Chains A and B, each alone.
Chain A
Amino acid sequence: MPVLKFKPERILNLTGLGINTLEDALFSLKCEASINNENQLEVEINPDRPDMYIGEGIARAIRGITNNELGFKEYDYENSKFKLINEIPYIRPIISAAVIYNVNLDNDFLVELIQFQEKLHEGIGRKRRKVAIGIHDLNKVPSNELKYKNVSIDDKMMPLGSNNYVSIREILKNTDQGIKYGNISLINDLHPAFISGDEIISLPPVINSNITRLDENTRDLLIDVTGTDSYYVNKTLDIIVSNLAERKNTKIGKVEIIENNSRKYTPLMEKSEEVIDSSYVNEILGEKLSNDEIAFHLMRMRHNVLLNDNEIRVVIPPFRADIISNIDLVEDIVMSIGYNNIVPNKPKVMLRGSLTNITILKRKIRDIMIGLGFTEIQSLTLVSSRILKDLDEQNYIEVLNPITNDFDSLRPNLFVSMIMAMKNNIMASKPVKLFEIGKIVEKVLGKPVDKERISIAIMDESLSYEDIQSVVYSLLKMLNIEFKVLSSSNKFLIKGRSADLIVNNKIIGYFGEVSPYILEKFSLEYPIVYGELDLG
């Protein structure tokens, strides 16, 4: 979950709340807030609410549930006189742009704005693949004539943080951003660029130009949003604009976008409408809310509502990206009510619960094993392929992208876990008597199949076949299972001192003395007897 950091004073000022009420309010809006060691307000915000990734958005949501403002307002617009020609670069074809006047950056807000941009990049932007944002100091933008098109990577620009013009090729190769995002939109040595006059002012989704760089004196902003998906590009721009427009005295400037001889103005500030029925809401929540109550709750969640004749028409603000269908409005309603104000229904319907046969069998087996004096262990199903190779295993599932080599494969037997457990117990008081019931994963006909098994082992000064045979026999007899044994050729065990277990003409396991060859491999200087059985 994204974690954002804020100056506490700023959020307290914007919301007019004290720190404790602020934390409670955020909690009821899905967020978790706390003051960290550096005296920053840390807020965990769910990825479905990118509109809350900046103080203004948080404050807007909170002013709703504190009944200070209901519904959402329309922001002021004017035409910006900026014209953007989109030549539609094939690999990243979408661009939208907006101007915002009188944003008036300062140091703190600049930091927050960059955090806002970064969090949008990670979430809704899918690490800049789907959506990327460029924010410019409007007064440093060279020309009202904007262009979005592919340029050669040998073209030059002045990347952020540099005072020299360098080729895009170098930027992609030598800057951190270039290395991280350089191949998202690069094709055939062409890369999309956002151009003002003759100047490349951003290289989406990689880096902006130093020329339009923001600073604490920046007053007005030009914002470009590019990407692969028109809905998300425009939604992102709407979110940014409607949050910045929450600042005092701001005004939105529309940018004329020309592509394929058609003309549109962005930001779209697109609202959507849904009609919601009170019986639908009440059926889901188990409440008895009236239309007025529903309308009130939706307005507290900053939707606009038109109530006429028994119909609730909801106008969803442009900054909400998470309202996919009516069910999402239901959640807004119940959030406004407060989850802990809902009286839960005590379960009434009586149903007969049950456990799986394997759970029931496992419980019986565990009781018997304890009675036989064995202590239970539990180990991870992820093991190292190094050990599996030592054991000459082939038929196991390897993880394609393991975090470490120690956990790069799924165990194909419990033996590998038990031998490691015994190794860990070489110094323990003998005899060491252990068992484990757990899952293993095998490849059966080329497909991964998991099975439940039991492993049983004893390590002692001296041991023989009968020491494990008696235990296995006892277990199976207690379970009333008829079985036969045949001489085993299991590679972990000594031939002639090991057996395969046959139940219903199928081999379901093996037991016997662990071969000294294996013991030596694992530096185990005590004899071990071992048995492993399928429980499936």
Chain B
Amino acid sequence: MVATRKIKYLIIGNSAGGIGAAEAIREVDKAGAITIVSDEPYPTYSRPLISEYLAHPYPVEKMVYRQSDFYEKNKIKTLLGEKVIQVNPDKHTVKLENGTTLVWQKLLLATGGTPIFPEMEGNRLKGVFTFNKLDDARAIDGFLNQYRNRVRAVVIGGGLIGVSVTEALLRRGVEVTVVEMKDWVLNTILDEEAADFEAQALVHAGTNIITGHTAEKINSYLPGEVSGVTLDDGRVLSCQMAIIAIGVQSRLEVVAESGIKINRGIVVDRRMATSAPDIYACGDVAEAFDFVYGVNRLTPVWPNAYEGGRVAGLNMAGKPAKYQGGTAMNALKYFGVYIASAGLVTPPDDSYQTLINRYDGIYRKVIIKKGKLAGLVFAGDIEKSGIVYNLMKDGVDVSSFKEALVADDFGLASLPESIWKDRLESSPPEGVPVITSIEKPEELVIGD
């Protein structure tokens, strides 16, 4: 079955990237047919909220990423619960699992990422889960609801997903052990000191953290069910469930035989265009420009997916746009501990300079190379982190005021006047009526 009518814009993926693109397309082209295909059966929802959902009570309606009239208002057709199995760049078609072929003029691949699922003994047992999408949270929720007694879980992997599921499980009264292969949790996004803020909060909340070890196999005493996890040193952790959270990889299967250039993800240029004409990619599946490294890299975070999608959408609709670049960036608030990080978190060699300040339970660190910022970590208080992030993003030479960036009283006024003037609206346009203070002191509350 071949659909004869061409879809002007076909978007595969209904999350941050796909929605960013659809919104951008509609800014430029009010009428061109947009279709979004997703193998998830839900209207767009916020993936990061799945841990809130699992933690309870959190209604699924509050997870919507866009209001319920979003698709209708933007004249977007959706094919939800439909899986694309193949992309054919030459014919400008995609094939769905249900046999349908769709013909498109411009295609966006926003297929996202999928959990890495290692070949490990016991990985198919009942009680083994991943934690990446709403259905995963639902499955874990269903599993927990069967138990009246306290459940024990082993979370394999102490990255973002591992810590995020741990927080939710703890809030459900589950006893959790996190097994992290490297020396500290969240090691890809935090340095050891900031990660320790998080580790202490995890331990304080009752988590058992094991670092420097990996899980070798998942054990089963009752047929088909998880009974424990064996570590590489032979230790056995008894549990009823195991969450595999060792990482995420790009979902590349739809383009596997398409000839589109792939590295670890789909390689895109600064317009978010792939090597094939009229095909764009963004989000966790795309390897786009990283402004810290100066090369294309996977930076699988939500804000970059949206921004990349937006740039792709504008270009698809014929309005030239350039991706300024993204980098690894995360703001965390697990267990009420606020941490923000972006770019590098530990200097890779001694050509980098690191500045650190610690005061009143607050930790601030910036990493500088040749006068330019290459990374930041703010823990304990993340306000004003955006000022530093944007200096890094804009490639500003910070040599003359670098110490101020980590100072206790850091703020916009600590920057050179030319920079803060540029960022603030300091004078109204000429000729407009200006309102200033009301000169009626008797109305002031102070002095009443």
A binds B: no
